Amino acid sequence: MAATKQLLDYNVDEAVDLFVLLKSADVRTAKNGKQYIALVFEDQSGEISGKYWDASPDDIENYVAGRVVHLQGKRENYQTHPQIKIFHLRLTHPGEPNDPNSFIEQAPMSRAAMEEYITQTVFEITQPTWNRLVRKLLQEYADKFYTYPAAKSNHHAFQGGLAYHTISILKLAHSVVKQYPDLNAPLLFAGAILHDLGKTIELSGPKSTVYTLAGNLIGHIVLIDGELVRACDALKLDPQAEDVLLLRHMILSHHGLLEYGSPVRPALREADVLHQLDELDASIMMLDTVVEHTAPGEFSERVFAMDGRRFYRPTTTTPQPPTTD
């Protein structure tokens, strides 16, 4: 029985034997008319798909999303996509691992550490209106903010991903304001904290994440703008005062281009910087995963969220540089 090895640690053609969570399970009809289950397996290392052929009615009832199962099979590639060829699948026995939560991918930073970092940054938002609005909205959405993913897929699609992505941007933002002191740090920090908070309304939650109706019809950018306007009412602030408009603009313009869903393009230095830092963090996170799944000397699959480019993992190794600051 496999123990410490995890789902994404297996190489192509290696035999797989471990407990995993069924992240999703869709029943479909094969070309030959029989039913099969398209499964996505998950543990803390990530996720991978597999097909369960010739599914019986019992199988269909047993193997549903959210169940922990014991999986035996082989790691393969199907048209360059990694998958598990399933040899044997069964429900867990009493005494075996059974808690779905222990199989879910988590942000690489504890919730406590993330809360600490955010709280610390809020202190640096020295402009009172922005400070009050950020506190008010964080308070209202705290629980979702620290547990939701940042996206359905692609980058930061794990529990706590939304807060983790926000913190990564804040770290970059701290470096940037140190290097370019003319930038308005409190505005940049406040904008960064709120920029994706609307995802707590756009997405359904940390597990089996889908778009809500509000997400589909309004989108997270305008949703959080609406909540910010409500917060103004609650705090007796004028939503059209300059300082509020600046913060709303930071959020509304952070996708950079109208085509990407921002109703306005950045018209403040800090808004332009926020947009760029958002892209920088998202792309590095995505490419880390992509490169990790690629063998040295090979090109990755096409990365759709990066214009379908393929990325190369070099074989050249380098000694770590001496640390500098």
Within residues 59-98, the interface with a second copy by CB under 8 A covers 76, 78-79, 85
Q: Is residue 220 a contact partner of residue 255, using CB atoms and an 8 Å limit?
A: no
Cβ–Cβ contacts within 10 Å for residue 88, how many?
9
Nearer to a second copy, 56 or 123 (CB): 123
Binding pattern to a second copy, positions 10-29, x when CB under 8 A? ------------------xx
Minimum CB separation of residue 151 from a second copy in Å reads 17
Among 120, 139, 153, 208, binds a second copy (CB under 8 A): 120
CB distance 191 to 254 below 8 Å = yes
Of the pair 5, 178, the CB lying nearest a second copy is at 178
Output the six-digit token pair for 310. 């393929």
Q: Does 324 bind a second copy (CB under 8 A)?
A: yes
Q: Residue 218, interface with a second copy (CB under 8 A)?
A: yes
Closer to a second copy by Cβ: residue 21 or 253: 253
Give DSSP secondary structure letters for 235-256.
Answer: HT--TTSHHHHHHHHHHHTTT-
Cα–Cα distance for residue pair 199/211, rounded to 1 Å: 9
| C-beta closer to a second copy: residue 94 or 108 | 108
Smallest distance from a second copy to CB 113, Å: 15
Per CB under 8 A, the list member of 9, 140, 272, 301 interacting with a second copy is 272
* Residue range at the interface with a second copy (CB under 8 A); choices 95-103, 140-148, 152-160, 164-172: 164-172
Q: How far is the CB of 17 from a second copy (least distance, A)?
A: 19
CB-CB contact of 209 with 158 (8 Å): no
Cβ closest to a second copy, residue 147 vs residue 300: 300
User: Got the DSSP string for 46-73?
Assistant: EEEEEEE-S--HHHHHHS-TT-EEEEEE
Torsion 96-97-100-103 (CA) sign: negative
